[in-house]
Structure 1
Amino acid sequence: MKKKLSSIVSLLFILCTVVVGGAQIVKAENSAIRPDIGGTGSLTIHKHWAEDTSQIGDEGNGQEQTVSNPPVESVAFNIYELTPVDDAPTTPPSEKDGAVYSLNTAKTELMITFGGKTHKYTMGGKQTGTTNATGEYKFENLEGFYYVEEDLANSNPKVNGKDVTIATPAKPFVVSVPMTNPTGDGWFKDVHVYPKNQGMTPEKTVNNGGKNSVNIGDRLDFGIKVAIPSDIGEDEYKVFNIHDTLDEALTYVGDTVKVYVYKFESGAWQKKEMTTGFTGNFAEGAHPISVVFTEEGRKELAQLMSVDGGSYTHVGIEFGATVNEKVLEKPNYTVKNKGDIEWNNTPGDETIKTPTPETETNTGDIVIDKKDQAGADLSGAEFQIADSDADAKDGNKYIKVKVDDAGLITDLVYPGDADYDSADALNWVVRPHAASGDLGKKGDTFYASKFQGLQTHSGTDDEKVAMDYYVVETKTPNGYNLLDEPAKVTFADEDKTTHIVSKEIVNSKGFKLPNTGSLGMILLTVIGIILIGLAIVMFIPKKRRS
C-alpha cells in the first residue's frame, strides 16, 4: 500500500458516507424499454476530506449533494460490473443488512455471505479513474451493479495542492446504475457517491503561559492531540499508541502524563480524562513517554465518539518537562521536540509511525563587552543582573542561579521564589574578559563569562514581546568609575537566529585626590603658617613692637 507523508496531514482513517449495497440499489429489470430511464447511466465519485467524524455527513442517497469539505485530487478508483452466478440474487445483498463481502485473489469473483448462504458474482473487466482538482471522476455508459474500490497503490492524493496521507482505502461498496429515487416512485441514471477520507492531523503544542522562550530550568507543558480514528473499535485495528521521545535538553516531570478525550463545544475545546484502557511508564525519568491503548481502550474510544458516549472527536496526552542545562549545547540555544502516532489498522501490514509537528523552545545569552575609553577590552569588572529596573536599583534583588557538580547552570532563581534565600541559590556574577581560573563556583557565588539561559521573549511567534534585563556594575577595574545607573539590555536587539544580545559598556578613568599626610600637604601647611605669622607682625603697632 502506498503511504505518502504530508506536511499538513499525518494520519488518516476512513469513514465512508456512500451509497452502498442495499441503499436503493434496485436495478431496473428492463431499463432499455423504460422511457424515464433513457439507456445507460453514470457514476460520479466525489472525494472530499473530513478532519474528524463531526464533519462526516449523513449517508448519501445517490443524488448530487453540496459538500463544504475540501476535495481530494489524484485518488484512483476501480469499478467492476457484477454478474450473478447460478441462484445468486440479481440484486446483491447489502453489507448494510449484514452481508459479508470477500474477493478472490485475482479479483475475478465476489463472494457474498448472507442469511446463512454464500452467493457468487463474477467481476467484469476493471475500469479505472482518478479524481481531478475538484475531487471528481465520472464513469460513464454504465448499466448494472458495480463493485467500487479505492486504489491507493496508484494514487497520489492531494488537498489544496499539498500531499496528504491516506492510511487505508475507503471501504469497498456495491452500487446500482440506474437507481430508484429517494421517494421510491421513479428512477435516475446519473448516480453520485461521496466516499470521504477522515483526516487525522496530529497536533503538538507547548504552552508555558503562552511563551515559547523560557529560562533554563523552567517547566514546559506539552500536549499531543489527534482525531480518534473512525474505525478504532473494529477488530482489524490492532495498534494505536501515542509517543513523545523527549530531547535530551528536556527533563520529564514524573507522573504528569494525563490522557484526555476532547470535543469542540461552545467555541472551545472541552476535555475529559481517561483513567483506564491504556498502559505506559510515567515515572520520573521515563523516556520516551508512551501511551499504549489496549483493545478495551480502543473500544472505549469508539464508544466515546458516539452521541451517547459524549461525541468526543480527539484523544491526546498532556505532560510536563523542564528545560535543562543541555539546551546550552543546542544550536542557537533552541530545543526541538516532536512525538508520533503509532498505528496499524491493516492486518498483516506494517505498523506505521506518523510524526507530529515539531515544537521549538529557546533560551538566550547576554554578553557584556567591557571596554575602556580607547575601545580596548577591559577586564576586572563584575556585573549582576535583574529583570526590572527597580530590582536592579535595590541592590539585593538580582537573579541567582543553581549549578550542578560540573559547574553548569541548572536553574535561574528570581527574587520572590521560595528557594531564593537557600544555600543552593548562588549569586550570579559575570566577569567579562576574565581568565578561566577566575570563573566557576567560589563560595556562595557563581562567576561566569556571560549571562546564559535567559528567556528572550514572551508571547507566541506571531506576537513576540522582547524581554528586558538590567545589568549593574558591582565592581570596577582599579582606577575606573562604577556605572552610576543600571544598563538596560533588551532582546529586541538580539540576533534573531542565535538568540544572543551583546551589550558594550565603557568605563572612564576616575579622578584622584591628594593623599592625606603627604609631603606636599606638609609643605603647604608650613608655608601657610609662615604667611600668617608675617601678616600678624606687619600689623602690630610700632609702639608695641618697641
Structure 2
Amino acid sequence: MFTTNNKLVRKGMALAAALGMSALGLVAIGAPGANAAPAIDKNADYKIIVTPLSGEKIKNPDGKKLTEDTTSKLIKSGDFKLEKGDYDVTTSTGYEKATKATVTTFELSNGVDDTKNGTVAADGKVEFTVKPGLYRLTQTKAPAGYKTALPSLILIPMTDPTTGSWMNEVYVYPKNGSAGKITKKDITDKDTVVKPGSEMTFEIDSPIPSLTAKDQNDKFKSYKVTDTPSGPLKVDKTNSQIKKVEILEGAGVSATLEPGDYKVLDSTPYGIELTVSGLSKLDMHQGKTLRVTLTGKLAPENDDIWTKDPSQWAIKNKAAYNYDSDKGETGGSETGEDDQPNVPMAKLKINNKDGVTDLNSKGAEFSVYACKDVNSGDPSTTGDAILNGLKAGEASSQPLGARSGGLCIKQTKAPTGYELGNKIVKVEFDNNTVKNAADAKKAVEVEYQNTLKSSDILSKLPLTGGAGIALFLIVAAGLLGGAYYYARRNRVRA
C-alpha cells in the first residue's frame, strides 16, 4: 500500500510523536522526523495495556511488550483513569498539536464517555480499548505503601519501531515507587497500667518520600498525618494533644517543626496537615522521617464501651499519611496490624486461698500496683495503687490494660482467721493472658495465698486467759492474805 518513501515518512512522524512524549518515559527518543499527515483510520480500535511495576523505571520504553520477566515486579492492585484529549490526530494539524502537548498543557476532550476508569486485575494489568487520539493516564489510587505513578501521555496509534507499522496494542509500564512504611508506637510511661480515663502517648513515624520528579523541581503540595482509634481509645481534639513534630535522620532529630508549620485537624480522623512553611521543610528533607508525638485518652468508666463484649475493649489505633506534589505525584500508606498498638484489656479477679482451700468468703481485700522493673529480688511496686479495696473472689469494676511487666498485689485486709499477708505477689498480665481472658469474656484470675492462721500465732503466746487467769487470782489472793496476817501480828506484838 505504501511506497518506501511513505514508510520513511511514517517512521519520521512516529519519532516526532516520541519526542513529544519522551519526557513522560513512555517512548524512546530519536531524531525528530518530517511533519506530515499520517494515514490514520479514526474508527480503528486500539488497546492500551497498563502494567504498573515496582523497582527501577523502564529504560527506553517504546510501547511494545517487554521481553524480560516482570513477574516479581508486578503490582496487582491500583486504579487508573484514562482521559481523551481534544486532539484530532487524523489531521496533520491535530497530530502536530498532540506531539507538542505535555501533561501540564493537555487539553481535555468535551466528548461523551471520553474518560475511562479501570482497576488493575489479578494478572497485574488493566486494559483500555480506545480510538486514535492523545490520552492522559493518571493513577487515581496506588496500592498501600506505594506512590502513585506520575501522570503520562499516550499517543494512539504508535509506530512499531521494528516493523514501521501501527501497533494494535500499546504497552505502558507506570512505575509505582515505594511510599515508605508508616509505624505507630505506644510510648506511654512504662510504669503506667492503663484503665478507664488513662492518658496514653504515641509516636507516629511517617516517611518523607523522595519525589520522583525532584530533579524537575517538584515540591510537596500537601502532607497529612492522621490517627484513627478504635475500642475505648479516644484521639480527637477534645481528648488529645499534639506534643511535638520532628524530622528525623537516623536516630537523631534533623529539624523541629514549629506550631506555624502545621495545623491541627478539627475533623475526624485527628492529626495534622502541614502548612506552606512546613512543606518547605519537607522539601529540604526528602528521604527522611516525620515523627508526630500525640496523646489520647481511654473512655471514662461510665462510657458505654465498658458494657460491651470484653474483646472490644482492646486499645487500637492505626495511623496514616498522605501527600501529593505539584507535578501530580500522590502517595501514602497506613499502619498494618504489626505496626500499630494493640493492647487488650480485661478485669482482674484475685482468688484468696490457703493451699487449695478457698478463702474468698473470709473478706480479704487487696490493692493492685504496677510492678517495678527489677531484674532480681522480691517483687516490688511502683507508683500509686491502680486499684484499692478489691475484694477477694470479685472481679474488678474496671478493666486494666495488658502489661508485660505484670501486676503486683498487696493484701490490705486479712481474711478472717488469718494473719495479713506480708508479701507482694507478682502475677502475669501480658498480652496473651489478657487477650485469652477477654476473648472468653472472663476476668484474668490470679491467686493470693494466706497460709498463716491467727490461731497458730496465738498458740505461741503466754497463757493469759481462762484457767490461767483463775490460777493467777488464787495465787494473788493467797499472797495478799499472808501479807495481811503478818501485818496484823506485828501490830499486836507492838
What TM-score do you get using the length of structure 1 for normalisation?
A: 0.53
* Whole-angstrom distance in 2 between the partners of 1:145 and 1:83: 7
Aligned CA distance change for structure 1 residues 78 and 432 (closer, same or farther; 3 Å): closer
1:373-393 deviations in whole A, cap 9, x for unaligned? 466522144456572698998
2:154 aligned with 1:173: yes
Q: Which has the higher helix share?
A: 2
**Paired residue secondary structure (1:225):** strand
Alignment-derived partner of residue 398 in structure 1: 381
Q: For residues 117 and 401 of structure 2, what CA distance do their matches in structure 1 show?
A: 58
Query: What are the Cα deviations for residues 83-140 of structure 1, in whole angstroms up to 9, with x where unaligned?
Result: 25464565843446x98321231179xxxxxxxxxxxxxxxx9999976533346789
User: Contact 1:145 / 1:175 at 8 angstroms: preserved in 2?
Assistant: yes
**Distance in structure 2 (CA, Å) of the matches to 1:173 and 1:147:** 6
Indicate the residue corresponding to 1:441 in structure 2: none
Q: Is the 8 A contact 2:28 2:60 kept in 1?
A: no
Name the counterpart of 1:273. 255
Q: Report the counterpart of residue 193 of structure 1 in structure 2.
A: 172
- CA change 1:179–1:149 in 2 (3 A) is same
- Cα deviation, 1:307-344, whole Å, max 9, x if unaligned, reads xxx6x246634214365684896554533334555778
> Residues 345, 452 of structure 1: CA spacing in aligned structure 2 closer, same or farther, 3 A cutoff?
same
Please state if 1:258 is matched with 2:245.
yes
More relative contact order, 1 or 2 (CA 8 Å, 6+ apart): 1
Distance 1:170 1:380, change over 3 A: same
| Alignment partners' CA distance in 1, 2:191 and 2:28 | 52
Aligned equivalents of 1:85, 1:476: Cα separation in 2:
99
Residues in 2 aligned to 1:212 and 1:524: alpha-carbon distance in whole angstroms:
59
Residue 318 (structure 1) aligns with: 292
Q: Compared with structure 1, are the counterparts of its residues 95 and 79 closer, same or farther at alpha carbon in structure 2 (3 Å cutoff)?
A: closer
1:398 & 1:211 partners in 2: Cα distance? 13
Q: Do residues 104 (structure 1) and 90 (structure 2) align?
A: no
Q: Deviations over 1:279-332 (max 9, x none)?
A: 3259xx99986433334654664x44xxxxx6x246634214365684896554
2:480 corresponds in structure 1 to none
Displacement of 1:205: 0.6
Percent of aligned pairs sharing the same letter = 14
Report the CA distance shift for 1:77/1:336 in structure 2 as closer, same or farther (over 3 A). closer
Q: Distance in 1 between matches of 2:119 and 2:297?
A: 49
Contact persistence 1:470–1:486 (CA under 8 A): yes
Match 1:47 to one of 35, 51, 64: 51
- Work out the CA distance in 1 between the residues paired with 2:388 and 2:376: 13
Cα deviation digits, residues 481-502 of structure 1 (max 9, x gap): 3446544422268342556422
Cα 1:289/1:316, change in 2 over 3 Å = farther
**Residue type matched to 2:111 in 1?**
A
Aligned to 2:234: 248
Contact 1:367 1:451 in 2 (8 A): no
Measured in 2, the distance between the counterparts of 1:164 and 1:390 equals: 40
Identify the residue that residue 428 of structure 2 maps to in structure 1.
Answer: 490
**Which residue does the alignment assign to 1:432?**
391
The corresponding residue for 2:402 is 456
Are residue 520 (structure 1) and residue 467 (structure 2) matched? yes
TM-score computed with the length of structure 2 as normaliser: 0.57
Show CA shifts across 1:391-429 (max 9, x none): 99879x533427xxxxxx6xxxxxxxxxxxxxxxxxx75
Matched pairs, number: 411
Q: Distance in 1 between matches of 2:52 and 2:189?
A: 35
Bigger proportion of residues as strand = 1
Q: Which amino acid aligns with 1:248?
A: K
Look up the SS of the partner of 2:206 in the other structure. Answer: strand
Judged with a 3 Å threshold, the aligned counterparts in structure 2 of structure 1 residues 270 and 221 are, in CA distance, closer, same or farther, namely same
Change (3 A) 1:249 1:364: farther
Q: Which ranges in structure 2 are unaligned for 5 or more consecutive residues? A: 1-22, 476-494
Give CA-to-partner distance per residue, 1:174-209, whole Å, 9 cap, x none.
Answer: 26521547xxxx958665421234564773411439
1:135 equivalent to 2:124? Answer yes
Q: Secondary structure at the match of 1:377?
A: helix
1:147 aligns with 2:134: yes
User: How far apart are residue 145 of structure 1 and its match?
Assistant: 6.9
| Aligned residues: CA RMSD | 6.1
1:172 Cα deviation after fit:
3.2
Any gaps of 5 or more consecutive residues in structure 1?
Answer: 1-15, 33-39, 109-124, 263-267, 305-309, 403-408, 410-427, 436-448, 459-466, 529-546
Asked if 2 retains the 8 angstrom alpha-carbon contact of 1:369 and 1:503, the reply is yes
What's 1:370 paired with?
A: 352
Match of 1:83 among 89, 92, 104: 89
Distance 1:148-1:180 versus aligned 2 partners, 3 A rule: same
Change (3 A) 1:325 1:346: same
